[in-house]
Amino acid sequence: MRKYQISGEQKDVKILTLDDDVSIGAALQSYFRVSGYHVDVETDPFRAIERIRKEHYDILLLDFLMTPICGDKVVEEIRKFNTSLFIILLTGHKSMAPPIKTIRELNIQGYYEKSDRFDQLELLVESCVKSIGQINLIRAYKTDLEAVNGSLVEANRKLQSDYDEIVKIMRSTVDARDIYTRGHSDRVAILAERISAAMNRDPEATKRIKTTGLFHDIGKLKIPDQILLKEGALTPEDRTVIQQHPLYAIEIVSNSDKFTDMLPGILQHHERFDGSGYPNRLPGNKICEDARIISVADSFDAMTSFRRYRVNMTVEQARAEILSKSGTQFDPAVVKIFVKLLDGFDKIESEAEWAATYGDRPKK
């Protein structure tokens, strides 16, 4: 397995730069080699495509305006045979970049406006390297799972141990990105599990939704730090990148067959009951039940948790907000059950249990 590092003299990461301006390619190569990356340079789009087909590269730094074909066409060709390559689009002018819809469809991780400084570009590259490292870690665990042999008892024990370890690693990795959202996935998982149980769903579905809740934001590993950790308001372009995180989550989680039944809940947890959500604008019952439950749990915890860009709501305010969006953002049936649970928390939980899960009990 490759070792990925953000610091150190040498990084086992291969970058290909494609720019028909020889001087820019040389400048990028010189800059990133100093930072410890292995960098190759191409000026011809067709040669670059064939090179990626035959050799392994982790990241492509791609100029948009080139001849005889532009960067979006290069990506179209690459995505026919390589869906895992991380691609950062370089543009001389932001107005000349392809539309957001195209960037999303081609799974381009980000774009950078060319300047005489590459520090912002290096941040994008480092974010890609972090994601690559996590994806390869999960793939390694998948290989370990597939290689388990011996007695059925020992095999099952090892599978469960590895499964629990993967869950722990992925959850803690997301928490480590942002101190202000630490514990969010754990709380969403617990709330979703309790809603599911109160809806009298079968035990397997309730067990599944807890792990789905733990993984629902795992795709944020692929969101650049300068967007995910931004202090001020997000721009429309920032929001478009953020809205990719359910798709990124599927890329990560689908590396293990153990999580296949959780994929719909993870992918659809930002769909809205009225069909105005993302990524696929699914309405009503076309959204899977797991996702409809997680949507309520996720929103409640986000509303009642402090964020760097806003103060948190009280429980009463969050309750009113969720009720006001019943039938538009949220499934009314899920809201009805959740509100009953919320109003009954004082009766069904001890002070110690609440404190261990949520911290200080909110005052009504």
For 312-323, write each residue's pLDDT tens digit: 788 888 899 999
**Does residue 318 share a domain with residue 215?**
yes
pLDDT 10s digits, 16-57 = 999 988 999 999 999 999 888 999 999 999 999 999 999 999
Q: What is the pTM of this model?
A: 0.53
Residue 270 clears pLDDT 60, i.e. is over it: yes
Active site positions, annotated: 220
**Does residue 344 share a domain with residue 264?**
yes
**Does residue 327 share a domain with residue 189?**
yes
**Does residue 183 share a domain with residue 300?**
yes
Q: Report if residue 79 sits inside a domain.
A: yes
Residue 175 clears pLDDT 60, i.e. is over it: no
Q: Report if residue 4 sits inside a domain.
A: no
Contact (CB, 8 A) for 178 and 228: yes
State what percent of residues in the chain have pLDDT above 90.
36
**Does residue 340 share a domain with residue 252?**
yes
**Does residue 103 share a domain with residue 243?**
no
At residue 219, the pLDDT reads 84
The domain containing residue 74 runs over which residues?
14-131
Across 235-257, average pLDDT: 85
**Does residue 351 share a domain with residue 203?**
yes
User: What CATH number has the domain bearing residue 240?
Assistant: 1.10.3210.10
**Does residue 99 share a domain with residue 196?**
no
**Does residue 123 share a domain with residue 209?**
no
**Does residue 225 share a domain with residue 109?**
no
Number of domains composing the chain: 2
Q: Report if residue 3 sits inside a domain.
A: no
Q: Report if residue 100 sits inside a domain.
A: yes
Q: Which of 51-65, 145-159, 252-266, 292-306 has the lowest mean pLDDT?
A: 145-159
**Does residue 229 share a domain with residue 91?**
no
**Does residue 345 share a domain with residue 211?**
yes
User: What CATH number has the domain bearing residue 76?
Assistant: 3.40.50.2300
